[in-house]
Chain A
Amino acid sequence: MTSLDTPLGKAADRQDERLATPQGIGDAVRAAVRRTRDGDLGMLPVVAGIVVIWTIFQSLNQTFLSSTNLVNLAFEMVPLGVIALGVVCVLLVGQIDLSVGSVSGVSAAATAVVMVKHEQPMALAIAVAIGSGCAIGWLYGQILNRFGVPSFVVTLGGLLAFLGTQLWLLRDQNAINLPYDSPLVKFAQVWFVPEALAYVFAVAAGGGFLAVGWVRARSRRRAGLSSASMPWLGLQAGLLAAALLFTVYYLNRTRGVPWMFMLFVTLVLMVHYVLKKTKFGRSLYAVGGNAEAARRAGINVRAVYTSAFVMCSALAATGGVLAAARLAAANQSTGTADVNLNAIAAAVIGGTSLFGGRGTAFAALLGVLVIQSISSGLTLLNLDSSYRFIITGLVLLVAVALDSAARRSRQAHGRG
């Protein structure tokens, strides 16, 4: 690749005189503050929300931030988080899936039926469950593309139909228990990352962040483009590693870091890569931003819709398998009640726009942390689900209001 000629010794992308060129850490911080004020909120509101929620619950009940409870939280947030990760994908293309709860319920039931009733191997049961999830997503995509039915109607139909399927699968007994000695249940209840390995992961995350940033900065410099300053990168990587090391240390004081949580983090990172670093991910954002423009750019919009729904339903099914594993059972209420709305709320609270074209995989991680923290805190306070519904509803309302307000502010400040 040829590097561009750079008059004035400025990087190729920093030559317009109207452009403020950040120098050093101070400028980088100031730029971040200005971005936030203009409505490019990113992760900030949800992180602030988590701090507030944790402070409140900790002051009401000293055990909330205890290591034991946080390990529990790390377990509990996974099934819902995996479902929310799928919801992010459909919201990105400007669609919605209201049936993720039912799909996870069917998948939980299917896992139990295949594994326990038909005494088939665990791997087959999981494959059947996730495979049916893919099929459901494909079906949604076809209905949307062929008949142009709005996705909220299609998936509302799916919500009922798959709830029915779940009840039918479990028609003989209300619940099917999974054997406690199956790896699936152990994975969701008692398997932890060995202490030392968990520290290695934490350091590796910081190192990986630094390495990726360094490689990127180097190739940008070689191409004559501006690049992040090394001290700034180092500071970010250091903070990340320190935060993770402390988390690992704190969780290791009791049971440790669940492998199931590591699975969730891995899925988040994978989806993040797909969204940000592949052509396919780009096309999800493009279709959510302006479907007609995406079509004219040669993107197969129908295929993009179908893949988004397949990803969503497959992840919902995976969440269902994990929920069954966590409970060591599939029953008629798995995935019902508030799972649907909680998963959508988690995605939106995490910063995924309901208007399409905006959002990241980390939205699912942070959003579900908010939702599960509320749920766990209220359980510790012995408050029943009525409070949980009300409070989660209010938080969702705040998140959606923030999304709309931020959108207006972005438009006023030219940040799309």
Chain B
Amino acid sequence: MTAPAAPTAPTVLSLRGVSKQFGAVAALTGIDLDVAAGEVVAVVGDNGAGKSTLVKILSGVYTPDGGTISFHGREVSLGTPADAQAIGIATVFQDLALCENLDVKANLFLGQELRPWMLDDVAMETRSWELLRELSARIPTLDVPVAALSGGQRQTVAITRALLGKPEVILLDEPTAALGVAQTAEVLNLIERLRGNGLGVVMISHNMDDVRAVADRVAVLRLGRNNGVFDARTVTSEQVVAAITGAADNVVAQRAARRASAGPRADADPRTDTAPRPDSGPRKEKELP
């Protein structure tokens, strides 16, 4: 296992021994995690490893059963989602958490509307368009209820919403799961821009390409426990997969080996090793929201 890269920037968010129990299921046990400013930490793990539970604890949706969470070195308690937002943690949830009966701009500004006693619809709509354009969102109109949007459009709305409150740490639970090629690249670009602007980013993804493309460090969860933290520049996909599944001889490695013996073309899973890193592609340099 590679030694974790020492974070150079100051640590923003720090977890020590965080645990969460759901009835008889220990969803998380003794989780440690550090996120520095200007750093992208990918959290990976199998289905049910506890990644979403971790995100929900950090966003104040669940209260942990044990352990401590510190923000800028000071211990904080995240009792409600409002607490987490107030200290500067924004979240894109795996299930997106949008109100289907409200239109796009109402969803974007939900809970942080401009001018609470006389809503400034025009300013909110203008700002919505600015942010959506920046993400190259393919949303024709903001007047329709979210129920009318496709899965990817909804995901874009959820991501856009997380950017509104000028957060310091942003948690993305599988942000690109439903996105098309262009939007995925835009989100990866966005993550790099966020990092460039000194935000701490926690990204959960099952896609090794995405993880290796933007992450600085990769933290592996397995069955609710830490199973290693890797430097994303030096680690190989095999090492990460081995940590995720808990064995060097895992189903992913077996498939790769079968393919290698079957044809000359594939010496490894092409999805994991030869994919272009998005920063080699066209990239918009834009100011952050």
- List the interface of chain A (C-beta within 8 A of B): 1-4, 12-14, 16, 18-19, 216, 219-220, 223-225, 277-280, 282-283, 285-286, 288-290, 292-300, 357-358, 410-411, 414-416
Contact = CB atoms under 8 A, between A and B. Distances in A.
Contacts of B82: 298-300
Nearest to A273: B118
B98 interface: yes
A64 to B, nearest CB: 38
Interface string B271-285: 000000000000000
Nearest to A4: B129
Contacts of A220: 122, 125
B118 A277 contact: yes
B182 interface: no
B87 to A, nearest CB: 12
In the A-B complex, list the 5 residue pairs whose CB atoms are closest, starting with the nearest. Answer: A416-B145, A414-B148, A416-B147, A289-B101, A16-B140
Nearest to B98: A293
A279 B123 contact: no
B251 interface: no
Contacts of B125: 13, 220, 223, 225
B260 interface: no
B242 interface: no
A184 to B, nearest CB: 31
Contacts of B100: 289-290, 416
B136 interface: no
A13 B141 contact: yes
15 contacts: A4-B126, A19-B140, A19-B141, A278-B117, A282-B119, A290-B101, A292-B97, A293-B97, A296-B59, A297-B81, A297-B110, A297-B111, A414-B147, A416-B101, A416-B146
Contact of B101 (A12, A358, A414): A358
Q: Which of B85, B116, B142: most chain A Cβ within 10 A? A: B116
B250 interface: no
Given A290-B100, A296-B81, A416-B101, A280 B116 contact: yes
Given A279-B117, A285-B102, A293-B97, A411 B147 contact: yes
Nearest to B86: A298
A278 B148 contact: no
Nearest to A300: B82
A279 B119 contact: yes
Contact of A224 (B85, B97, B126, B147): B126
B106 A282 contact: yes
B130 interface: yes
Nearest to B148: A414
A298 B112 CA distance: 8
Contact of B97 (A14, A216, A285, A290): A290
A363 to B, nearest CB: 15
A14 B61 CA distance: 37
Identify whether the interface residues of B are mostly helix, strand, loop, or mixed.
Answer: loop
Contacts of A224: 126
B144 interface: yes
A174 to B, nearest CB: 46
Interface string B80-100: 111001000001010001111
A349 B59 CA distance: 40
**Interface extent on B, as a size class?**
35 or more
A357 B123 CA distance: 24
B102 A18 contact: no
A224 B125 CA distance: 10
Nearest to A413: B148
Contact of A282 (B98, B110, B148): B110
B113 interface: yes
A279 B139 CA distance: 24
Contact of A290 (B59, B81, B99, B139): B99
Contact of B148 (A16, A225, A285, A416): A416
Given A278-B118, A279-B119, A282-B119, A4 B130 contact: yes
Contacts of A290: 97-101
Contacts of A279: 113, 116-117, 119
A289 B99 contact: yes
A298 B217 CA distance: 30
Contacts of B130: 4
B172 to A, nearest CB: 14
A223 B122 contact: yes
Contacts of A358: 101
A18 B140 contact: yes
A13 B124 CA distance: 12
B99 A294 contact: yes
A286 B110 contact: yes
Contacts of B98: 290, 293
A349 B128 CA distance: 35
A286 B99 contact: yes
B142 A296 contact: no
A187 to B, nearest CB: 30
Interface string B126-160: 10011001000011111111111000000000000
A415 B145 CA distance: 6
A298 B81 contact: yes
A299 to B, nearest CB: 5
A14 B117 CA distance: 28
A285 B99 contact: yes
Interface in B193-234: none
Given A279-B116, A280-B116, A297 B122 contact: no
A296 B91 contact: yes
Contacts of A277: 118-119
A347 B189 CA distance: 49
A225 B124 CA distance: 12
Contacts of B61: 295-296
A374 to B, nearest CB: 30
B54 to A, nearest CB: 15
